[in-house]
Amino acid sequence: MRERVVVDGTELLLAPPDELDWEWVGRQDLVDQLLACWMKLADDDLPLNPRLVGPPGVGKTTLACAAARRLGREVYVFQATADTRPEDLVVSPVLDENGKVRYVASPIVSAMIRGGVAILDEGNRMSEKAWASLAPLLDHRRSVDSVLAGVRIRAHADFRFCTTMNDDASTFDLPEYISSRLSPRVVVDWPEAEEELRILASRLPFAPEELLRQVVAFLQEAHRRDEPFTVRDGINLARYAMKRAVQAGEELDAAIAFLPEAARAVLGEENLPEDDLEP
């Protein structure tokens, strides 16, 4: 059952928080940077609205969730796309079973009302028109207007915001008045080898260490070549190889022999040099 709140006489149905039990095992200084952005130095100070920038799959959303957990706040994630509309970010009208119009708050507005953390995922996939609806939220006004519901919604003092942005080609350029509000940049880059190994081991605690080390060696070479293979790809490589080993009646230690097959299946043969992941 969605929580209902009344704002200026209009009832809003809130989105539930996301239950994301994601552990951040990367650089702890990145968590500290994000928490510093969200800090208030005095009652009249405002938190910053950082953008987490880096290649796809380096854990930007996981980092934001981990920082929110450190604050003890609820997390609300909104996935941005090129088709995101202003009303999707604020309040959308829906018809209930009786044909009556109800107003549903977005995850961002729900976080505003409840004092949670809103993570706008892949924010640079949105158009300027969509971003414009959030402009007053990202400055001293700390509010949004819903034309459809006819209400102005102000953010709780505990509300915090960040957006993740992939540095790839399929994105919109941000207008300056939005870019200046999304500051500072927290750069999340490819992890070093031992860090990447810790990440894989935390997600796959049952995997043989030698299998994970071979996957990490492949990923590190891919990073050097500027190829778009990520920790997520590495996890899928290892999982597929282990499943094939067990299916063949082998122990998990034998999964290394299935890595070439896993690479072709997970990443696509056309993307792999001939010698990658050969046992």
pLDDT of residue 201: 94
Q: Are 54 and 86 in contact (CB under 8 A)?
A: no
Residue 249 is encoded by which pair of tokens? 């009646």
Selected residue with higher pLDDT from 138 and 98? 138
Q: Are 219 and 196 in contact (CB under 8 A)?
A: yes
Q: Are 133 and 88 in contact (CB under 8 A)?
A: no
pLDDT of residue 269: 74
Cα 178 to chain centroid, rounded: 19
Q: Are 173 and 129 in contact (CB under 8 A)?
A: no
Selected residue with higher pLDDT from 229 and 108? 108
172 pLDDT band (50/70/90 cuts)?
confident
- Classified by CATH at the fold level, domain 4-187 comes out as Rossmann fold (3.40.50)
Per-residue pLDDT tens digits for 33-78: 999 999 999 999 999 999 999 988 888 999 999 999 999 999 999 9
Which of 126, 112, 117, 116 has the alpha carbon at shortest distance from 79? 126
- CA angle 255-256-260, nearest 5°? 105
Say which residues have a Cβ less than 8 Å from residue 195's Cβ, sequence separation at least 6.
Answer: 25, 26, 27
273 pLDDT band (50/70/90 cuts)?
low
Average pLDDT over every residue of 97-119: 94
Selected residue with higher pLDDT from 124 and 97? 124
Q: Are 133 and 144 in contact (CB under 8 A)?
A: yes
Per-residue pLDDT tens digits for 236-257: 999 999 999 999 999 999 999 9
98 pLDDT band (50/70/90 cuts)?
confident
Residue count of the chain, please give it.
279
Q: Which percentage of the chain shows pLDDT scores above 70?
A: 95
Q: Which percentage of the chain shows pLDDT scores above 90?
A: 73
The pTM of the full predicted model, rounded to 2 decimals, is: 0.87
Residue by residue, what is the 3-state secondary structure of the chain? CCCEEEECCEEEECCCCCCCCCCCCCCHHHHHHHHHHHCCCCCCCCCCCCEEEECCCCCHHHHHHHHHHHHCCCEEEEECCCCCCHHHHCEEEEECCCCCEEEEECHHHHHHHHCCEEEEECHHHCCHHHHHCCHHHHCCCCEEEECCCCEEEECCCCCEEEEEEECCCCCCCCCHHHHCCCCCEEECCCCCHHHHHHHHHHHCCCCCHHHHHHHHHHHHHHHHCCCCCCHHHHHHHHHHHHHHHHHCCCCHHHHHHHHHHHHHHHHCHHHCCCCCCCC
Spatial separation of the C-alpha atoms in residues 252 and 206, rounded to whole Å: 9
Selected residue with higher pLDDT from 273 and 28? 28
Model confidence at 220: pLDDT above 80: yes
